[in-house]
């Protein structure tokens, strides 16, 4: 515990602060984009409301002269476009078209319900944790954790302070474990900071973007957030372990970041391939988190886009990607964490400290 305390004290550094600022800024912009996108999408109902929208759909008083005039005009235009005279035949066609439009709109709403609900959740402080946790379990979180690992672990070699550390504590595995745990903890802290920042923005979103969908109760907003947040903790542990391994291998600040980043990008790219895809970190994260391409968390590690590369006929191309299960994701992440820490320990334990 003392060693962990020492590692956490070292983390009070400009890099940690600027990483947090950057993550908050990126995610806040993303949240803003989600609100705009949701409003645009949901406002699309007016354009698929059928040839003769109701007075309510047009925002006019029911039975008013103005509404009747507009509806008459719309009907004339529609009948003319169908080469029909206004009359019973055209009325039947209008009724059928309106019914089809209504059913299409209901289908549309169903498809967009998830996004609308989550965009609405972002307008609740307790619901903002959904995006915070999702983003921390995504590429943004991975990059942030790798930056922190580079500064916190790799820089011990670049800054030549590792000799001071190993002269105080000769059991190198303890130092490495403390570094991993402190990184993980700072990742959790980053998640809390991000949630707090998004929670502060929630009232601003609520007042600026009227989505026209029912609100989310505080209880269900919190439930949405916690469901993702607790799962993201394991992903953060995997990112911390990967960062620790990268730093142990390169024993260098920049090297630690770029090696880890290269691994993450390679993992993203390979996730869509048939044979190797299921062994990638990206698929494990997607499985464990339950990410899906239509999720509001757009930047998660594995998107289906990558599997669309090529003509789909190759041996490696995964034609019909199946998302991994939670169990496969869990096992994959646990193995990743264990493997990364074991390799990092082997590397550090056997290496000479020449700096």
Partner 1 sequence: MSDAIRIHGLTKRFGGRAAVDDLSLSIGEGEVFGFLGPNGAGKTTTIRLLLGLLRPDRGESFVFGDRVPCPDRLHEIGAMVEEPAFYPWLSGRRNLDVLARTGAPTPTGAVDGALYTVGLSEAAGRKVKTYSQGMRQRLGLAVALLRKPRLLVLDEPANGLDPAGIREFRDRFRALGDAGVTVFLSSHLLGEVERICDRVAIVDKGRLVAVGHVDELGRTASARVRVTLRPQDLDEAVRLLGAYPVGLESPNVILVTAPSGREVNEALGRGGVFAESIAPERSGLEERFLALTEGGDDAPARG
> Which residues contact partner 1 by CB under 8 A?
2-3, 5-6, 9-10, 12-14, 159-161, 163-171, 175, 350, 352-354
**Closer residue to partner 1, CB minimum distance, 56 or 161:** 161
The answer to whether 55 and 74 are in contact (CB under 8 A) is no
The answer to whether 119 and 224 are in contact (CB under 8 A) is no
**Closer residue to partner 1, CB minimum distance, 76 or 163:** 163
**Closer residue to partner 1, CB minimum distance, 3 or 191:** 3
Local structure of 213: helix, strand or coil: coil
For 92-125, give one letter per residue: b (16+ CB within 10 A) or e.
eebeeebeebeeebeeeeeebeebbbbbbbbbbb
- Nearest approach, Cβ of residue 4 and partner 1 (Å): 9
**Closer residue to partner 1, CB minimum distance, 88 or 167:** 167
- Nearest approach, Cβ of residue 12 and partner 1 (Å): 7
Name 301's Cβ contacts closer than 8 Å, sequence gap at least 6. 137, 138, 139, 142, 264, 267, 268, 271, 281, 282, 285, 286, 291
- Nearest approach, Cβ of residue 267 and partner 1 (Å): 32
**Closer residue to partner 1, CB minimum distance, 175 or 297:** 175
Task: For residues 231 and 221, give the distance between their C-alpha atoms in angstroms, rounded to a whole number.
Answer: 16
- Nearest approach, Cβ of residue 29 and partner 1 (Å): 28
**Closer residue to partner 1, CB minimum distance, 3 or 270:** 3
In this structure, what is the dihedral angle of CA atoms 214, 217, 220, 225, given to the nearest 10 degrees? 90
Question: Which secondary structure element, helix H or strand E, spans residue 184, and what is its range?
Answer: helix 172-208
- Nearest approach, Cβ of residue 155 and partner 1 (Å): 9
Task: Give Cα separations from 208 to 23, 39, 116, 123, 226 (angstroms).
Answer: 23, 10, 15, 10, 26
In this structure, what is the dihedral angle of CA atoms 259, 183, 249, 13, given to the nearest 10 degrees? 80
- Nearest approach, Cβ of residue 178 and partner 1 (Å): 8
**Closer residue to partner 1, CB minimum distance, 159 or 338:** 159
- Nearest approach, Cβ of residue 344 and partner 1 (Å): 18
Name 68's Cβ contacts closer than 8 Å, sequence gap at least 6. none
**Closer residue to partner 1, CB minimum distance, 5 or 338:** 5
Task: For residues 336 and 179, give the distance between their C-alpha atoms in angstroms, rounded to a whole number.
Answer: 17
Give the rounded distance of the alpha carbon of 290 from its chain centre: 11
DSSP 317: B
- Nearest approach, Cβ of residue 163 and partner 1 (Å): 5
- Nearest approach, Cβ of residue 193 and partner 1 (Å): 19
Q: Helix 129-136 crosses helix 172-208 at what angle (to 10 degrees)?
A: 140
**Closer residue to partner 1, CB minimum distance, 96 or 163:** 163
């Amino acid at each position: 515990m003392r060693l962990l305390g020492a590692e956490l004290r070292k983390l009070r550094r400009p890099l940690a602060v600027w990483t947090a600022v950057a993550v908050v800024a990126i995610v806040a912009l993303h949240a803003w984009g989600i609100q705009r996108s949701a409003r645009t999408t949901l406002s699309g109902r007016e354009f698929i409301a059928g040839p003769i929208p109701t007075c309510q759909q047009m925002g006019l008083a029911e039975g008013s002269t103005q509404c009747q005039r507009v509806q008459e005009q719309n009907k004339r235009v529609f009948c003319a476009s169908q080469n029909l005279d206004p009359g019973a035949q055209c009325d039947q066609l209008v009724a059928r078209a309106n019914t089809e439009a209504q059913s299409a709109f209901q289908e549309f709403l169903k498809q967009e319900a998830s996004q609308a609900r989550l965009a609405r959740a972002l307008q609740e402080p307790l619901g903002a944790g959904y995006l915070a946790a999702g983003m921390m379990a995504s590429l943004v979180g991975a990059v942030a954790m790798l930056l922190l690992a580079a500064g916190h672990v790799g820089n011990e070699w670049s800054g030549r302070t590792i000799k001071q550390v190993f002269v105080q504590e000769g059991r190198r595995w303890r130092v490495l474990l403390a570094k991993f745990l402190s990184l993980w903890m700072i990742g959790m802290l980053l998640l809390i900071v991000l949630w707090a920042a998004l929670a502060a923005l929630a009232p601003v979103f609520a007042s600026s973007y009227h989505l026209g969908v029912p609100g989310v109760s505080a209880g269900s907003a919190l439930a949405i957030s916690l469901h993702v947040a607790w799962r993201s903790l394991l992903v953060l542990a995997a990112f911390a372990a990967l960062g620790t391994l990268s730093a142990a291998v390169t024993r260098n600040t920049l090297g630690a970041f770029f090696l880890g980043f290269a691994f993450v990008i390679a993992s993203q790219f390979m996730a869509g391939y048939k044979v190797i895809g299921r062994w990638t970190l990206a698929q494990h994260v997607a499985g464990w988190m339950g990410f899906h391409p239509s999720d509001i968390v757009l930047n998660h590690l594995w998107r289906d886009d990558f599997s669309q590369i090529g003509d789909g006929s190759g041996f490696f191309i995964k034609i019909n990607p199946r998302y991994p299960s939670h169990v496969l994701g869990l096992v994959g992440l646990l193995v990743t964490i264990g493997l990364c820490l074991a390799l990092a320990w082997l590397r550090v334990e056997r290496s000479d400290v020449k700096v």
